[in-house]
Amino acid sequence: MKCKTCGQKAAVNMKQHSLALCKEHFLEWMPAQTARFIKKYWMFGPDEKILVAVSGGKDSLSLWDILWRLGYQADGLYIGLGIDEEIRYSDESHRLTEKFAQERGLKLHVVDIQKTYGHTIPVLAEKTHRGQERPCSVCGLVKRHEMNRLARDMGYDVLATGHNLDDEVAVLFGNTLSWAGEFLVRQSPVLAESDGLARKVKPLCRFYEKDMTAYALLRGIEYIYEECPFSVGSTSIYYKELLNKLENDNPGAKTHFYTRFLEAKKNGLFAEKEMERPALHPCPRCGQPTSGEGLCSFCRTIDKVSGASE
Ligand code: SF4
Ligand code: ZN
Ligand code: ZN
């Protein structure tokens, strides 16, 4: 297989685009495509301040690397979850994120959940019984709260996350199986700023996971190979496997599923649902937007834990 640009030996073959590229041209192609998607979906302009949520994994570190190479003002945010029981997942991902930032002279903000709120994520989940088998629902709640709080308090214009196309398609597939209209209406490469919620963007949403891995490896980015131990056996991993089978027999299937969904939305598929969105108001304690009366679910979770531990 030869590079389409220079004819040298290809390092990456992207069947979904009928495009093979050598290392040099692939490493040029990725930022160029990212810049195209940032413009296409109106994510942010050249003068806006970006906060990149980094987990130490290949996607978020590659996103930060790409934005840095494109010349954006992008700082990082690492949230220490305290998931260090079976493997030293949080410790190791924190170390690699610090190393990445230092090597490039980038600014990294770090929030440690245990230091800030008194408990690690697994303990918060156990005490609130929200964890069920996994602490993911509490973890998601805490991460959303902290990302929004820090983006807003530190004056960033936009919050960027490293979701790739496989992540987006797995979510879309799950929500389509259950026709979860309220989630489908919110799934987008950009969520506009509203009522105290920071604008959220996913600049990697059009790249396959395997191509993100290739980017990280070819750029020599040291990232945490292990997934969070709680992700093992999750529904989203199962959906990703199913979708990869579909993609194998039909290259481009994942891209079509996602881009046609975005087109259908643009053409008004969920116009009625969009009108139904509940009004948000600030939580009386933390000031973050909530749809219910009284405290937001994050503050209620923290209260429940304080009560449970008395
Ligand atoms: Fe949090 Fe791990 Fe669950 Fe992801 S898999 S939501 S990091 S507990
Ligand atoms: Zn080439
Ligand atoms: Zn609150």
pTM of the predicted model as reported, rounded to 2 decimal places: 0.95
Distances (CA, A) of 208 to 87, 187, 205, 224, 244: 27, 17, 8, 18, 10
- Alpha helices, DSSP H, located in the chain: 23-40, 58-69, 89-104, 113-117, 121-128, 136-153, 165-177, 181-184, 209-218, 235-249, 253-266, 271-275, 297-309
Q: Which residue has the tokens 């009004």?
A: 279
Distance of CA 284 from the midpoint of ligand 3 (Å): 7
Does position 255 have pLDDT exceeding 90, yes or no?
yes
**% pLDDT > 70, the chain:** 98
Atom of ligand 1 nearest to the CA of 229: 2
Q: At what angle do helices 209-218 and 23-40 cross, to 10 degrees?
A: 130
- Name the least confident of 122-131, 160-169, 219-228: 122-131
What's the pLDDT score for residue 309? 45
Domain range summary for the chain, segments of one domain joined by +: 42-278
From atom 7 of ligand 1, which residue's Cα is the shortest distance away?
228
CATH architecture for the domain at 42-278: 3-Layer(aba) Sandwich (3.40)
Categorize the per-residue pLDDT at 292 as very low, low, confident or very high, splitting at 50, 70 and 90.
confident
What's the pLDDT score for residue 161? 98
- Name the least confident of 70-74, 124-128, 273-277: 273-277
Q: For 279-286, what is the mean pLDDT?
A: 91
- For 302, list phi and psi in degrees, rounded to 5: -65, -40
More confident residue, 210 or 308: 210
Q: For 195-202, what is the mean pLDDT?
A: 93
Categorize the per-residue pLDDT at 153 as very low, low, confident or very high, splitting at 50, 70 and 90.
very high
Strands 108-112 and 73-80: parallel
What's the pLDDT score for residue 132? 64
Does position 265 have pLDDT exceeding 60, yes or no?
yes
If one residue of 88, 138, 230 were mutated to test the ligand 1 pocket, choosing by the most ligand atoms within 8 A of its CB, it would be 230
More confident residue, 226 or 8: 8
Atom of ligand 1 nearest to the CA of 228: 2
Categorize the per-residue pLDDT at 47 as very low, low, confident or very high, splitting at 50, 70 and 90.
very high
Does position 264 have pLDDT exceeding 70, yes or no?
yes
Ligand nearest to the backbone CA of 232: 1
- Which residues keep their CB under 5 angstroms from ion ligand 2? 3, 5-6, 22, 25
Q: Tell me the per-residue pLDDT of 88-97, one tens digit each, with 9 for 90 and over.
A: 999 999 999 9
Q: For 240-257, what is the mean pLDDT?
A: 98
Dist CA 210 CA 169 (whole Å)? 14
Q: How far, in whole angstroms, is CA 175 from its chain's centroid?
A: 17
Q: Which among 280, 285, 282 has a CA at the least distance from the CA of 301?
A: 285
Distance of CA 226 from the midpoint of ligand 1 (Å): 12
Q: For 29-53, what is the mean pLDDT?
A: 98
More confident residue, 93 or 304: 93
Please state, rounded to an integer, the average pLDDT across all residues of the chain: 94
CB 41 within 8 A of CB 195: no
Q: Which among 78, 163, 90 has a CA at the least distance from the CA of 123?
A: 90
Does position 129 have pLDDT exceeding 80, yes or no?
no
Categorize the per-residue pLDDT at 2 as very low, low, confident or very high, splitting at 50, 70 and 90.
very high
If one residue of 86, 92, 132, 136 were mutated to test the ligand 1 pocket, choosing by the most ligand atoms within 8 A of its CB, it would be 136
Categorize the per-residue pLDDT at 271 as very low, low, confident or very high, splitting at 50, 70 and 90.
confident
CB atoms within 10 A of CB 58: 23
Atom of ligand 1 nearest to the CA of 139: 1
Q: For 149-170, what is the mean pLDDT?
A: 97
